Amino acid sequence: MLPLLRCVPRALGAASSGLRAAVRASPLRQLLQPAPRSCLRPFGLLSVRAGSARRSGLLKTPAPCSCGCGALHTEGDKAFVEFLTDEIKEEKKIQKHKSLPKMSGDWELEVNGTEAKLLRKVAGEKITVTFNINNSIPPAFGGEEEPSQGEKAEEQEPELTSTPNFVVEVTKSDSKKTLVLDCHYPEDEIGQEEDTESDIFSIKEVSFQATGDSEWRDTNYTLNTDSLDWALYDHLMDFLEDRGIDNTFADELVELSTALEHQEYITFLEDLKSFVKSQ
């Protein structure tokens, strides 16, 4: 039997969201999409440049350039491209991982744009963890602080971390059903001091889906953990831990997701620059 003190933090974690209204099961891709968060990316060079006040003629239809290409080239576009060039250089300078970090535990990684899958087979079971890095950067905890005396503002910019919702699917070789657990990182625990007895992620919903069925069936019963018995919730967490999905896994997933998010952000800036610059 698990020690009572170990179960209490999990019980509190599962019950703390009890005031939220229960929602019906959503398709897998919707489960991977958290509620939109305000953009808090501390752009390295995103500042109003001197003399960049909006021109009175901005609303006028600009004429095509005189180079004869027939495309639209404005002074604003030129300044935009110069800005993006500097911003890309800054983001690459602070990029921690030039390639995506590997997960411990023999997980295989598949990446499709902003969506990533981790796959692992253990004793006849297939375990899949899916997450999407869109809208995965939480608000800064505690709000913004004024720079201390003699310290530059950019030196106090918080390090951004991506904490996406992730869906765990467990399939047994002799079963026609797949157990699906929708997990997330509670925002009220982000940035707080670590507690070795607490879980840094929690389970939101649990359901069964037909193995091999790509369509999510809303007619299948979905268990919401908002008001779940703490003992059952604790066993579900232990079920995941026995399959390698624990605090260590959750920490490594944050590192992987953060690296992927930054990589995709730099790619977006490069695509934006090419689009604005293209003729």
Distances (CA, A) of 136 to 25, 95, 149, 247: 20, 18, 33, 18
SS (H, E, C) 45-92: CCCCCCCCCCCHHHHCCCCCCCCCCCCCCCHHHHHHHHHHHHHHHHHH
Burial (CB < 10 A; 0-12, 13-18, 19+), residue 165, is buried
Splitting the chain (279 residues) into consecutive groups of 10 residues, what average pLDDT does each group show?
44 44 47 57 46 48 59 85 96 93 94 97 94 89 54 61 96 92 82 65 95 78 92 97 96 97 97 89
pLDDT value of residue 272: 97
pLDDT value of residue 7: 46
List phi, psi (to 5°) of 228: -80, 145
pLDDT value of residue 27: 52
pLDDT value of residue 17: 45
pLDDT value of residue 270: 97
pLDDT value of residue 119: 97
pLDDT value of residue 19: 37
pLDDT value of residue 138: 80
List phi, psi (to 5°) of 170: -115, 120
pLDDT value of residue 147: 53
Question: pTM for the whole thing?
Answer: 0.73
The answer to whether 160 and 44 have CB atoms below 8 angstroms apart is no
- The Cα–Cα gap between 136 and 34 comes to 7
pLDDT value of residue 42: 52
151-205: per-residue pLDDT in tens?
554 555 667 899 999 999 999 988 889 999 999 999 765 555 555 568 999 999 9
pLDDT value of residue 139: 73
Residue 247 three-state SS: helix
State both tokens at 15: 């019950």
